[in-house]
């Protein structure tokens, strides 16, 4: 079992701020991604990237969304039966 570190308060605050910036002003968020923020602001970069991933997923055509959900459902059913193909 993997154990994860609890992120510090500054990281969580930066992550949330990055997510908010990306959702409200994508152009600014892209500029922030191109700037070297250093390791102290990695949460900001992570929040921006997470928001862009979610926006990309939401913008997929419906036929791609349904195909992906069917594949996930099949994998889940196979794992439930003990037929994990991975």
Residue 77: inside a domain: no
pTM of the predicted structure, to 2 decimals = 0.60
Overall domain count for the chain: 1
- Rounded CA gap, 53 and 22, in Å? 11
pLDDT value, residue 63: 67
pLDDT tens track for 8-43: 899 899 999 999 999 999 999 999 888 876 766 788
**DSSP label of 81:** T
Residue 48 contacts residue 22 (beta carbons within 8 Å): yes
Q: What does the angle CA 15 – CA 20 – CA 22 come to, to the nearest 5 degrees?
A: 95
pLDDT in tens, 43-73: 889 999 999 998 887 777 776 666 555 566 6
CA 48 to chain centre: 9
C-alpha atoms less than 13 angstroms from C-alpha of 31 in its C-beta half-sphere? 5
């Amino acid at each position: 079992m993997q154990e994860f570190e609890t992120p510090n308060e500054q990281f969580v605050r930066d992550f949330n701020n990055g997510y908010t910036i990306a959702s409200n002003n994508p152009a600014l968020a892209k500029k922030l991604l191109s700037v070297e923020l250093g390791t102290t602001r990695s949460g900001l970069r992570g929040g921006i990237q997470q928001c862009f991933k979610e926006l990309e997923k939401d913008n997929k055509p419906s036929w791609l969304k349904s195909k992906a959900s069917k594949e996930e459902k099949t994998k889940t059913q196979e794992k439930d039966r003990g037929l994990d193909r991975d």
